């Protein structure tokens, strides 16, 4: 058995070294290729400073707007405890994990030049630019913030609620004494997480940026590589982004951990009686929340034109979907395999952090380093598909580890010693272990495939534009203003995403029981 335990830990460390090795290769690529070098002069260039200012400004505005919408809504939902709250929380999760190109298509259908809401907007309204970026970012992130803050409110002890009512605390006293200490840690961590996600944004800015004035680091790196082939500029911008993003991640980690996949609490809780007017206002806020979440989806479904579907190249559409599923499936299975190997190391904080360190490196930075390294070897064409799958696997791996870590640690604490004392063989031990993780593995698989399915950042560098995935096909349709075709493709991707989300939620609910 000692030999078996040694083999397990050797396999775990081999997987960890593989992750670190990929990062080292990316940094080796970023260290320079041919005449490419880190350009100190570019740091103070007006173009770079403009990118930095816009990246920080749009991330700040996106974060502020998302929190400003989510915090009051979460507080009101906690007070109201309405019917359908579980479904509302599932819809919040769908909005966050939904492929970005689906959201972009919906935003264009609502706010674009021919959008259904365009007549209600000022004449000088322009979707492309900061306005469109903020709308897409807020829709992607405020549901996540609402879900997390609502879960935090639901963790408040019920006895404290009753005591505050008996003491007849004012609204302000209740907020200061009860709510703020409960919400403050997760609020700071949540704001940091949303800021980082928006700072590293690629697909939203690529589709809705509208020009050089609305360029983030990710987009600038992509343009420097794909259109200008300016490796020094791409290298310098990548290092700058990695440094800033890494510092932001480190600061965020100091506040608290955000359990964005935590199971919602659907049990009824005692609440003090509210006035009828307050109840009406709470129901109005709840209805507004539903409207905000459903409006893009309804716009997408309402724009479907069956005649356009008959005239579309259905072979191209089907081929793109199959290609997306194949790449996503390969990335998810690769990530799950690595995850199972890495789980024995999760009780050590340092090793656990190293297992998820790809959260620190933005996708475009990691992809850029590998891209430049492959260029130096002359093996870009031969190995592009391999790296497309592997990089996607590494990017979803931290989320899968988070999904499986608690279940794996519970197994180690409750059953590992018992199974060890039974002197079972390696196959029987593995069978018991996987049976215990079954529900969590199904949930992690659905989550991984859902995240990998919407990839566009890695594909933008390593993919073949002649053989697009479904998200890239949507981007191509939307970029040429073929919105009806983009809506059909986006709806297809949305249906696949909803199916995976239902699998994710069902497996998590069963596991919680």
Q: What are phi and psi for residue 155, nearest 5 degrees?
A: -85, -5
Please give the residue range of the domain that contains residue 154. Answer: 47-216+282-303
What are 145's two structure tokens?
């913030």
Whichever domain contains 172, its CATH number is 1.10.3720.10
**Residue 419 in this model has a pLDDT that exceeds 70:** no
**Would you place residue 459 in the very low, low, confident or very high pLDDT band (cuts 50, 70, 90)?**
confident
Verify that 505 and 434 share a domain, yes or no.
Answer: yes
Residue bearing the bigger pLDDT, 61 or 246: 61
392 domain residue, yes or no: yes
- Of the listed ranges 16-20, 295-299, 477-481, the least confidently predicted one is 477-481
Verify that 385 and 288 share a domain, yes or no.
Answer: no
Number of domains in the chain: 2
Verify that 9 and 71 share a domain, yes or no.
Answer: no
Verify that 23 and 91 share a domain, yes or no.
Answer: no
pLDDT of amino acid 86: 83
DSSP state letter for 235: H
Q: What is the mean pLDDT of residues 394-421?
A: 79
Verify that 410 and 510 share a domain, yes or no.
Answer: yes
**Residue 383 in this model has a pLDDT that exceeds 80:** yes
**Would you place residue 35 in the very low, low, confident or very high pLDDT band (cuts 50, 70, 90)?**
low
Verify that 478 and 371 share a domain, yes or no.
Answer: yes
Measured N-to-C along each axis, helices 276-302 and 483-512 cross at an angle, to the nearest 10 degrees, of 130
**Residue 270 in this model has a pLDDT that exceeds 70:** no
Q: What is the pTM of this model?
A: 0.83
pLDDT of amino acid 64: 95
CB-CB neighbours of 250 under 10 Å = 11
CB-CB neighbours of 460 under 10 Å = 22
263 domain residue, yes or no: no
**Residue 18 in this model has a pLDDT that exceeds 80:** yes
Work out the mean pLDDT of the chain and round it to a whole number: 81
- Residue range 349-365, pLDDT digits in tens: 778 778 887 776 777 77
Q: What is the mean pLDDT of residues 459-472?
A: 86
pLDDT of amino acid 337: 92
**Would you place residue 398 in the very low, low, confident or very high pLDDT band (cuts 50, 70, 90)?**
confident
pLDDT of amino acid 503: 78
pLDDT of amino acid 3: 54
Q: Residue 5 to residues 1, 212, 344, 437: CA-CA distances in angstroms?
A: 6, 55, 10, 19
pLDDT of amino acid 4: 55
Residue bearing the bigger pLDDT, 253 or 268: 253
- Of the listed ranges 242-251, 326-335, 481-490, the least confidently predicted one is 242-251
pLDDT of amino acid 264: 54
What are 335's two structure tokens?
């990530």
pLDDT of amino acid 260: 55
Closest CA to 394 of 20, 98, 12, 10: 20
- The C-alpha atoms of residue 377 and residue 384 are separated, in whole angstroms, by 12
- Residue range 174-195, pLDDT digits in tens: 777 777 888 888 888 888 889 9
Last residue of a domain, one of 303, 335, 359: 303
Verify that 55 and 181 share a domain, yes or no.
Answer: yes
Last residue of a domain, one of 303, 334, 364: 303
**Residue 100 in this model has a pLDDT that exceeds 80:** yes
Verify that 457 and 435 share a domain, yes or no.
Answer: yes
Verify that 292 and 430 share a domain, yes or no.
Answer: no
Residue bearing the bigger pLDDT, 454 or 272: 454
What is the chain's Cα-based Rg?
24
Closest CA to 494 of 289, 262, 324, 330: 324
Residue bearing the bigger pLDDT, 165 or 128: 128
Verify that 309 and 423 share a domain, yes or no.
Answer: yes
- The C-alpha atoms of residue 51 and residue 496 are separated, in whole angstroms, by 35
pLDDT of amino acid 135: 92
Verify that 27 and 66 share a domain, yes or no.
Answer: no
**Residue 306 in this model has a pLDDT that exceeds 80:** no
289 neighbors 73 (Cβ within 8 angstroms): yes
Helix (H) or strand (E) holding 302: helix 276-302
Helix (H) or strand (E) holding 335: helix 314-342
Residue bearing the bigger pLDDT, 163 or 74: 74
């Amino acid at each position: 058995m000692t030999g078996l335990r040694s083999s397990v830990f050797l396999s775990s460390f081999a997987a960890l070294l593989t992750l670190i090795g990929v990062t080292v290769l990316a940094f080796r690529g970023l260290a320079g290729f041919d005449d490419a070098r880190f350009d100190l002069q570019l740091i103070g260039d007006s173009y770079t400073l403009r990118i930095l200012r816009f990246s920080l400004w749009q991330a700040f505005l996106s974060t502020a707007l998302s929190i400003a919408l989510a915090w009051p809504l979460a507080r009101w939902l906690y007070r109201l405890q309405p019917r359908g709250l579980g479904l509302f929380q599932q819809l919040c999760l769908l909005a966050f994990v939904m492929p970005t190109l689906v959201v972009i298509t919906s935003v264009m259908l609502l706010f674009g030049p021919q959008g259904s809401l365009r007549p209600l907007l000022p004449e000088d309204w322009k979707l492309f630019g900061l306005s469109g970026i903020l709308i897409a970012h807020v829709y992607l992130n405020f549901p996540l913030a609402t879900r997390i803050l609502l879960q935090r409110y639901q963790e408040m002890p019920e006895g404290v609620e009753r005591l505050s009512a008996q003491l007849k605390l004012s609204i302000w006293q209740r907020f200061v004494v009860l709510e703020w200490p409960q919400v403050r840690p997760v609020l700071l961590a949540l704001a940091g997480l949303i800021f980082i996600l928006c700072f590293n944004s690629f697909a939203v800015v690529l589709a809705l940026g509208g020009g050089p004035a609305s360029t983030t680091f990710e987009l600038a790196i992509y343009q420097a590589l794909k259109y200008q082939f300016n490796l020094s500029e791409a290298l310098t911008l990548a290092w700058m982004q990695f440094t800033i993003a890494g510092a932001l991640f480190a600061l965020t980690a100091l506040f608290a951990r955000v359990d964005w996949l935590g199971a919602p609490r659907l049990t009824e809780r005692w609440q003090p009686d509210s006035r009828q007017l307050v109840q009406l206002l709470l129901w109005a806020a709840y209805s507004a929340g539903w409207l905000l979440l459903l409006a893009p989806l309804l716009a997408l479904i309402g724009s479907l034109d069956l005649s356009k579907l008959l005239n579309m190249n259905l072979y191209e559409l089907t081929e793109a979907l199959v290609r997306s599923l194949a790449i996503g499936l390969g990335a998810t299975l690769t990530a799950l395999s690595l995850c199972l190997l890495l789980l024995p190391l999760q009780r050590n904080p340092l090793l656990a952090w190293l297992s998820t360190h790809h959260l620190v490196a933005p996708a475009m930075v990691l992809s850029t380093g590998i891209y430049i390294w492959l260029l130096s070897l002359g093996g870009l064409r031969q190995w592009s598909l391999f790296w497309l799958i592997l990089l996607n696997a590494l990017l979803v791996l931290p989320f899968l580890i988070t999904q499986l870590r608690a279940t794996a640690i519970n197994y180690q604490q409750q059953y590992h010693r018992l199974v060890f004392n039974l002197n079972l063989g390696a196959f029987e031990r593995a069978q018991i272990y996987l049976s215990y993780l079954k529900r969590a593995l199904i949930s992690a698989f659905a989550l991984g495939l859902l995240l990998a399915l919407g990839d566009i950042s890695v594909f933008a560098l390593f993919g073949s534009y002649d053989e697009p995935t479904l998200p890239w096909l949507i981007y191509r349709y939307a970029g040429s203003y073929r919105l009806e075709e983009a809506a059909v493709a986006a709806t297809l991707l949305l249906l696949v995403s909803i199916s995976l989300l239902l699998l994710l939620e069902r497996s998590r609910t069963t596991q919680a029981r």
